Amino acid sequence: MKFFLDTANIDEIREANATGLLDGVTTNPSLIKKSGRDFFEVITEIAKEVKGPVSAETVAHDHETMLKEGLKCAKIADNIAVKVPLTIEGLKTCKALRAEGIMVNVTLCFSANQALLAAKAGATFISPFVGRHDDIGFDGMDLIQDIRTIYDNYEFNTQILVASVRHPVHIHQAALIGADVATFPADVMKKLANHPLTTNGLAAFDKDWAATGFSIL
Ligand code: E4P
């Protein structure tokens, strides 16, 4: 399972990348706004920092303009995945960008049928939003399971990128289902490693080791 960081904050990306566990980055217009930085400047910097796919989202709603935006974004670096919305115009753009060999992440997916369309359009990644689904009283993970089943039924290569992740339980469930990628904020990455029994166990070992007076180095 690949781990992407869902942020446009370069400091968070550098810190996560230093673990050696980071496989890519996703951004969206809201995250770009939050970074307070120029779109092209920050995407260029992220794409240099991270070897794996870096999603840069288009903002036009019509196919022609969206395609121009996507082609421009793809020129930033070889590891750019152009993000397009799950609309008919977005799917047309996905197909056109894929024909150029450009990675495409189809975003704002909220149904299995939408995910089926994205796979048929040749998407590299489909981004179903689990947290926003939970917010309105549906279990976002049911959607991930349905997409996994459909993609396996037809042997689609589109990678399921679980997005709008809010907490470690989402990651646990996504991994059990067999999602290909999860993208999440930096605090979730830290929460994945934390366990009170690990913390307590380490403190006990520290205390006993100090009492021995031994040194390994
Ligand atoms: C990532 O590609 C999505 O844009 C992001 O995960 C959305 O997350 P949110 O629902 O927390 O805004």
pTM: 0.97
How many CB atoms sit inside 10 A of residue 49's CB? 15
- Which pLDDT score, from 0 to 100, does residue 190 have? 92
83 is a catalytic site residue = yes
Instruction: Quote the distance between the C-alpha of residue 59 and its chain's center.
Output: 18
**C-alpha of residue 156 to centroid of ligand 1, in Å:** 23
Q: What is the DSSP string of 140-209?
A: HHHHHHHHHHHHHHHT---EEEEBS--SHHHHHHHHHHT-SEEEE-HHHHHHHH--HHHHHHHHHHHHHH
By percentage, how much of the chain surpasses pLDDT 90? 100
For residue range 60-86, list pLDDT tens digits in order: 999 999 999 999 999 999 999 999 999
Mean of the per-residue pLDDT values for the chain? 98
- pLDDT category at 28 given cuts 50, 70, 90 is very high
For residue range 156-171, list pLDDT tens digits in order: 999 999 999 999 999 9
- Which pLDDT score, from 0 to 100, does residue 171 have? 98
Q: Which atom of ligand 1 is nearest to the CA of 161?
A: 2
- Which pLDDT score, from 0 to 100, does residue 202 have? 98
Q: Which atom of ligand 1 is nearest to the CA of 30?
A: 12
For residue range 107-120, list pLDDT tens digits in order: 999 999 999 999 99
Which amino acid is it at 27? T
Instruction: Verify whether ligand 1 is closer than 6 Å to residue 7 (CB atom).
Output: no
- Which pLDDT score, from 0 to 100, does residue 186 have? 96
Closest by Cα among 63, 51, 53 to 27: 53
- Which pLDDT score, from 0 to 100, does residue 120 have? 98
Asked if residues 49 and 23 have their Cβ atoms less than 8 Å apart, the reply is no
Q: Which long-range contacts (CB under 8 A, 24 or more apart) does 87-92 make?
A: 87/61, 89/61, 89/62, 89/63, 90/66, 91/117, 91/118, 91/121, 92/63, 92/121
Q: Which amino acid residue places its CA nearest to atom 6 of ligand 1?
A: 164
Triad 34, 36, 38: Cα angle to 5°: 120
- Which pLDDT score, from 0 to 100, does residue 209 have? 98
Q: What would you report as the CA-atom Rg of the chain, rounded to the nearest whole angstrom? A: 19
Average pLDDT over residues 190-195: 95
